[in-house]
């Protein structure tokens, strides 16, 4: 048992929290990549992109295909240590909850949000609550405020009226205050006034992240994002101990107070989590180098949460094993899926974590390592839900997050927009030159999208369409089938040759000329 839990809960009077995390609705395990399409990559090449795999081969030996780099050996007890790091109490209570949603609305001044309205923000907050199994919104209150940054968010009169309404709700178990983050004193005072637990967006989103995390890397990233909350709770616990005369005492003559011991343990936990994430990041970088050596084009699919990224990838790859979910943050791990373009060229689609407006900074920082994969892609496809009333605001949130990743300028400049769910807007036509309207669910516009993807990939990777004359008796034709995308073969039997039309990269063409000089 990790030492911090024992240190954080030294008193019998401190309440115990049920460990079990409330399960999300119908959450099947994330599917593996389609094996038939990925056979050329070799075993294990695309597994663990999000941290679940162990490198090129499960046995850790050097791959036979080319001069592969050997994976750095992992300490024998690394997995056990990581499991200890991941053991912590849930940030939200277990079981069904009846929630009152309170949204502070700033109608004027510098704090007024742009490009959005209160009803849209409330709808997104309700979607967050519904994501949690057994949670329901029994009452919604949009409350005006002039100074949302003050300690209690609302003015004295407004707060008294709000308190009266909340205490009058029968069977209420919690309040979701739709602000990015509450301070510990604010949370304590509001809970004392309203008589129920109060949660902010940070806590709710963090809990959803924890319940959706599947791979080791995603779970470690959630654990890293939880540390600010643990530190905040630590101050609250120590304040309670101080009130009982036990918070400032030194522990067993160690020279450290209770607060200092817990701060040290949290710091040690953070160091261990970052080391574990660094090990998994090096594995992911190794897999990326192997993939680039094999020269499979990589297309990163990004977008606002629940915009239909996974549904689009399923439609483009035809992989029935991919199971999209109509749920916020259904995808937390970067997963790879192989598909073919009209020329039969194989590309790798990377499904990434969805974005959200007002996403707490610590969550963005924790998952920035996963999103580093986007920087190594050849093309970014930005999927937008054009049927959503806040589509423009969602676009701004995604582009702001992408700029925060400091991606190469050519990659940002070549982003291809896909306007999904266009079937919900009859007669819709995108305005931008690099935008296509599709319905991933109904399969509308996919052929046009594949053609545009092919053109964009060829431009981004420097591939060319060439017709090469090869001897039928030699190994040239089989080499081209292995190292390039063969589109057409016209045999000239009397000459014993064939004219082969291929899509080939510059480096592969250079190897061809070196191996088979004319």
CATH number at 307 reads 3.40.50.300
Q: What is the pLDDT of residue 269?
A: 84
Per the domain annotation, does 70 fall within a domain? yes
pLDDT at 433 over 90: no
Question: CA 272, 274, 280 angle in degrees (round to 5)?
Answer: 105
Instruction: Report helix angle 118-131 to 201-212, nearest 10.
Output: 40
Kindly state whether residues 401 and 470 are assigned to the same domain: no
Which tokens belong to 159?
């707060």
Which of 18-22, 205-209, 361-365, 438-442 has the highest mean predicted lDDT (pLDDT)? 438-442
Per the domain annotation, does 175 fall within a domain? no
Which tokens belong to 322?
């991919």
Return d(Cα 283, Cα 58) in angstroms, integer: 12
Domain boundary residue, one of 415, 442, 459:
459
Kindly state whether residues 298 and 314 are assigned to the same domain: yes
Which of 235, 180, 172, 238 lies closest to 206, judged by CA? 180
Per the domain annotation, does 496 fall within a domain? yes
Give the whole-number percent of the chain exceeding pLDDT 70.
67
Kindly state whether residues 390 and 496 are assigned to the same domain: no
Kindly state whether residues 358 and 389 are assigned to the same domain: yes
Kindly state whether residues 359 and 508 are assigned to the same domain: no
Distances (CA, A) of 432 to 115, 417, 418, 437, 445: 19, 9, 11, 11, 16
Q: What is the pLDDT of residue 312?
A: 94
Which of 121, 143, 134, 138 lies closest to 175, judged by CA? 138
pLDDT at 354 over 50: yes
Return d(Cα 198, Cα 410) in angstroms, integer: 45
Kindly state whether residues 366 and 389 are assigned to the same domain: yes
Kindly state whether residues 490 and 454 are assigned to the same domain: no
CATH number assigned to the domain comprising residue 470: 3.30.70
Per the domain annotation, does 436 fall within a domain? yes
Q: Which segment of 243-247, 322-326, 419-423 scores lowest on mean pLDDT?
A: 243-247
Q: Which segment of 40-54, 115-129, 147-161 scores lowest on mean pLDDT?
A: 40-54
Question: CA 475, 479, 480 angle in degrees (round to 5)?
Answer: 120
Return d(Cα 399, Cα 160) in angstroms, integer: 40
pLDDT digits (tens, 9 = 90+) for 222-269: 787 778 777 776 766 655 555 555 555 555 555 677 777 878 888 888
Per the domain annotation, does 81 fall within a domain? no
The residue ranking higher by pLDDT, 382 or 39, is 382
What is the number of structural domains in the chain?
A: 2
Return d(Cα 85, Cα 274) in angstroms, integer: 11
Is the whole model's pTM more than 0.75, yes or no?
no
Q: What is the pLDDT of residue 137?
A: 92
Domain span at 58: 11-74+287-459
pLDDT digits (tens, 9 = 90+) for 99-150: 999 998 877 655 566 556 778 888 888 888 888 888 899 999 998 887 666 7
Kindly state whether residues 399 and 509 are assigned to the same domain: no
Kindly state whether residues 330 and 472 are assigned to the same domain: no
Q: What is the pLDDT of residue 166?
A: 93
Q: What is the pLDDT of residue 336?
A: 82
User: Can you tell me whether residue 475 is helix, strand or coil?
Assistant: coil
Is beta strand 464-471 parallel, antiparallel or unpaired with respect to 346-351? unpaired
Give the whole-number percent of the chain exceeding pLDDT 90.
25
Could you tell me the pLDDT band of residue 29, with boundaries at 50, 70 and 90?
very low
Is beta strand 497-504 parallel, antiparallel or unpaired with respect to 464-471? antiparallel
Per the domain annotation, does 431 fall within a domain? yes
Kindly state whether residues 482 and 404 are assigned to the same domain: no
Q: What is the pLDDT of residue 362?
A: 59
Domain boundary residue, one of 411, 444, 459:
459
Which of 31, 23, 59 lies closest to 47, judged by CA? 31
Kindly state whether residues 481 and 359 are assigned to the same domain: no
Domain boundary residue, one of 459, 477, 497:
459
Is residue 159 within 8 A of residue 193, CB to CB? The reply is: yes
Kindly state whether residues 439 and 478 are assigned to the same domain: no
Instruction: Report helix angle 216-243 to 184-194, nearest 10.
Output: 70
pLDDT digits (tens, 9 = 90+) for 460-510: 988 888 999 999 888 999 999 988 888 889 999 898 999 999 999 888 899
Per the domain annotation, does 5 fall within a domain? no
Question: CA 229, 231, 232 angle in degrees (round to 5)?
Answer: 65
Per the domain annotation, does 372 fall within a domain? yes
28: Cβ–Cβ under 8 A, 6 or more apart, which residues?
A: 323
Give alpha helix (H) positions in 376-420.
391-404, 409-413
């Amino acid at each position: 048992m990790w030492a911090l839990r024992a240190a954080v809960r030294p008193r019998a009077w401190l309440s115990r929290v049920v460990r079990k995390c409330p399960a999300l609705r119908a959450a099947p395990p994330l599917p593996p990549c389609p094996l038939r399409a990925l056979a050329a990559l070799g075993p294990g090449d695309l597994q663990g992109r999000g941290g679940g795999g162990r490198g090129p081969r499960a046995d850790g030996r050097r791959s036979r295909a080319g001069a592969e780099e050997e994976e750095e050996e992992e300490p024998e007890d690394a997995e056990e240590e990581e499991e200890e790091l991941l053991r912590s109490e849930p940030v939200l209570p277990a079981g069904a909850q009846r929630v009152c949603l309170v949204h502070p609305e700033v109608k004027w001044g510098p704090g007024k949000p742009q490009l959005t309205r209160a009803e849209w923000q409330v709808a997104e907050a309700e979607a967050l609550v519904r994501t949690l199994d057994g949670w329901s919104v029994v009452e919604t209150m949009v409350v005006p405020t002039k100074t949302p940054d003050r300690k209690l968010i609302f003015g004295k009169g407004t707060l008294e009226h709000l308190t009266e309404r909340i205490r009058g709700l029968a069977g209420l178990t919690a309040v979701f205050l739709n602000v990015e983050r509450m301070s510990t004193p604010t949370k304590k005072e509001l809970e004392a006034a309203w008589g129920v637990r109060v949660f902010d967006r940070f806590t709710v989103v963090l809990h959803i992240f924890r319940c959706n995390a599947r791979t080791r890397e995603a779970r470690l990233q959630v654990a890293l994002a939880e540390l600010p909350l643990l530190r905040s709770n630590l101050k609250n616990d120590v304040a309670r101990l101080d009130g009982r005369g036990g918070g400032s005492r030194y522990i067993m003559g160690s020279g450290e107070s209770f607060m200092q011991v817990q701060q040290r343990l949290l710091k040690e936990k953070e160091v261990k989590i970052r080391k574990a994430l660094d090990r998994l990041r090096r594995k992911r970088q190794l897999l990326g180098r192997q993939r680039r050596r094999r020269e499979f084009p990589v297309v990163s699919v990004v977008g606002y949460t629940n915009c239909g990224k996974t549904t689009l990838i399923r439609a483009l790859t035809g992989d029935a094993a991919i199971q999209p979910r109509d749920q916020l943050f259904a995808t937390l791990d970067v997963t790879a899926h192989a598909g073919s373009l009209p020329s039969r060229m194989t590309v790798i689609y990377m499904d990434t974590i969805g974005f959200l407006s007002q996403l707490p900074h610590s969550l963005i920082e924790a998952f920035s390592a996963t999103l580093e994969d986007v920087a190594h892609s050849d093309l970014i496809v930005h999927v937008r839900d054009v049927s959503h009333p806040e589509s423009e605001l969602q676009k701004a949130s995604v582009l702001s997050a992408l700029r925060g990743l400091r991606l190469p300028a050519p990659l940002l400049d070549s982003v291809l927009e896909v306007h999904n769910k266009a079937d919900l807007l009859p007669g819709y036509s995108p305005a931008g030159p690099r935008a296509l309207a599709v319905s991933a669910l109904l399969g509308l516009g996919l052929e046009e999208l594949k053609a545009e993807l092919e053109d964009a990939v060829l431009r981004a990777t420097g591939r060319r369409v060439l017709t090469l004359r090869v001897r039928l008796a030699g190994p040239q034709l089989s080499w081209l089938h292995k190292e390039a995308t063969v589109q057409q073969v016209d045999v000239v039997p009397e000459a014993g040759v064939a004219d082969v039309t291929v899509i080939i990269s510059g480096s592969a063409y250079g190897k061809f000329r070196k191996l088979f000089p004319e």
